[in-house]
Structure 1
Amino acid sequence: ELIEQYKIWRKKALVNPNGQAGLTKHTRRGARAHTINFELGTLKTIFNLAVKWGYLTRNPVVGVSMLKVEDAKLPRFLSKEECQRLLAACPAELYPVYFTFLNTGMRKGELINLTWEDVDLKTRKILIRPKSDWQPKTRPREIPINDGLHRLLTRLKKTKTDSPYVFPGPDGQRLTVKLREKLIRIAEQAGIADLTRVHTLRHTFASHLIMAGVDVPTVQKILGHSDIETTMLYTHLAPTHLTEAVNRISF
């Protein structure tokens, strides 16, 4: 009941915590449904820990429904042809970076902090795990290495420097180049004007896994989503692909 009251309060509460003075016509409203759902998810995680550690006997968020998000914008993803154009426009020093994004769905922080100790070319697996000075967004996970990425990483390892990082900067430390700005320029050259976020490459990887017939729980595991509902966003498919899927069944 308390959490339900919280939902109602957040829908009505002013965005600006300082009151009416700093409000504009755009902020004279409560929090958006997406924001409230994010907060509920955070509260659920916190209360789960409280139950686990013995501070509570039950999680008050369990059973509380999420708010309906109207007109949710589906994630933009690149077609295979767009991926090929993007990679063809990449300068040699950045090609391995964006190729890896497209073939693993890694988050930017995960790729930047990837070391050779995390890469097992024999078992063809990449391990996403905490470092002494960096923590991944979610729990440790393994990402399979496909044939194309295996060839690229094998080639990189043969030419690697003393740096522990798979994609080091010029000084051998973490890559500090502004990947978003670089991606925008490359995308413009490739004729993909609406590609403005590195995260779109993660959407692309996930979407093509789904379109290739990979089940949602497996995609969730590879991407490292803590909630399967997040993975379900990637089940948006082109109508032609849906038709092809249905045509596989005939009675």
Structure 2
Amino acid sequence: MIRKLPSGRWQVDLRMDGRGSKRIRKSFDSKAEAKRFETFILTKRAEGKDWNPSKADNRRLKELVQLWFNAKGVHLKDGERRKRCLDVIADFMGNPIARTVKPAAFLAYRAYKIQEGASTKTLNNHLGYLNAVYNQLHRLNEIDFENPIRNVEMIRLDERELSWLTVEQIRHLLKTIEEFSQNPHVHLLTRICLATGARWGEAENLQLRHVQEGKLRFVNTKSGKSRSVPVSPELFQEIREHLEAHGGFSFSLSAFRRALDKSGIELPSGQAAHVLRHTFASHFVMNGGDILSLQKILGHSTITMTMRYAHLSQDHLVEAVVKGPLVSLN
């Protein structure tokens, strides 16, 4: 609106998008000048152009990465690793002005990493990390421009083969560990993972205080949430005695991998100790366990991850035989 001030000058006072939005106030010697300015501002507003636009943001990408790390990354378990990865991406691109990054620049980085042998899942993670920098800072009003790589698509991944051990393979693996491994922890850690579906690192982190009332309490998990899983009385007592004697588990993953190689059991590429978690979940479902209980035991944040095991349900398998289209022909 336009109003006359006590000084005799005329003032334009506008809120561009209502209460709480950006305010423009400017004074003029005559009402006609004030009117022309008001018309100019409203015209520019209709065209989508700001009055007195802010200075262009010329901060470099690595500067935004540092801002993201201070705001978010420092609170993540893998924040330091993500920041190192983001710095590598920025250096590959020549550490450009962040708002000017082109999708082609990231695509060039991705193509280079594929030639180096990086997995598609890893490269999808890298794209997610970079998206997170822009999106997080935009939410915090640290930047006022859109994410310039928002239209870059993730690489479509084939569903990963879900491998699990048979009862005979479990026996053979445990016997191999018992006969050939010099590590005092690996045999028990293997059985803990098979009995609870725990990740190897979760089992290694167990302390005596986590073994109470017939249950194992897993902390510092991937989801950040603690969970408790009951075990048999015999295994429970063995774990307590082992921890009392040793004070804790040492890093034993390498010992497990050596024993797995010695056993001759073949697994898909990239799978080692995680096959124990898959084995627990697969046998749980095949033995009649329900998916919702399995979700809680495994600590999955969504049911989608747990549903990968649903096809192993005996009811599911029987229905494939008795409810298929060929039944009608018979």
TM (norm. structure 2) is: 0.49
- Deviation of residue 205 (structure 1)? 1.3
Q: Does 1:200 align with 2:275?
A: yes
The partner residue of 1:137 within 213, 222, 225 is: 222
Q: What does residue 171 of structure 1 align with?
A: none
Q: 2:260 aligns with which of 179, 183, 187?
A: 183
Q: 1:78 to 1:141 in 2, by over 3 A?
A: same
Would you say how many aligned residue pairs link Structure 1 and Structure 2? 213
Match of 1:209 among 284, 293, 305: 284
- Structure 1 gaps of 5+ residues are 18-25, 131-135, 169-173
Q: Which has the higher contact order (CA 8 A, sep 6+)?
A: 1
Structure-2 change in CA distance of 1:220 and 1:137 (3 Å)? same
Structure 1 counterpart of 2:163, from 72, 76, 83:
76
Report the counterpart of residue 112 of structure 2 in structure 1. 16
1:111 shift after superposition: 1.5
After TM superposition, give the deviation of residue 52 of structure 1 in Å: 9.6
% identical equivalent positions: 26
SS of 1:137's equivalent in the other structure is coil
Report the Cα offset of residue 43 of structure 1.
7.0
Q: For the structure 1 residues 83 and 216, does the alpha-carbon distance in structure 2 shift closer, same or farther, using more than 3 Å as the test?
A: same
Q: What code does the residue aligned with 2:115 have?
A: T
**What's the Cα RMSD here?**
4.4
Give the CA deviation at 1:208.
Answer: 1.9
- Aligned twin of 2:308: 233
Gaps of 5+ in 2: 1-101, 324-330
CA–CA distance in 1 between the matches of 2:134 and 2:290?
A: 30
The equivalent position to 1:86 in structure 2, one of 143, 163, 173, is 173
1:128 to 218, 227, 239: 218
1:117 aligns with 2:209: yes
- Flag the structure with higher helix content: 2
- Contact 2:311 / 2:317 at 8 angstroms: preserved in 1? no
Kept after mapping to 2: 8 A contact 1:74/1:236: no
2:165 partner amino acid: L
Deviation at 1:160, TM superposition (A): 5.1
Paired amino acid for 2:259: K
Shift of 1:117: 0.6
Comparing 91-100 and 41-50, the one that deviates more: 41-50
Please give the TM-score of this superposition, normalised by the length of structure 1.
0.61
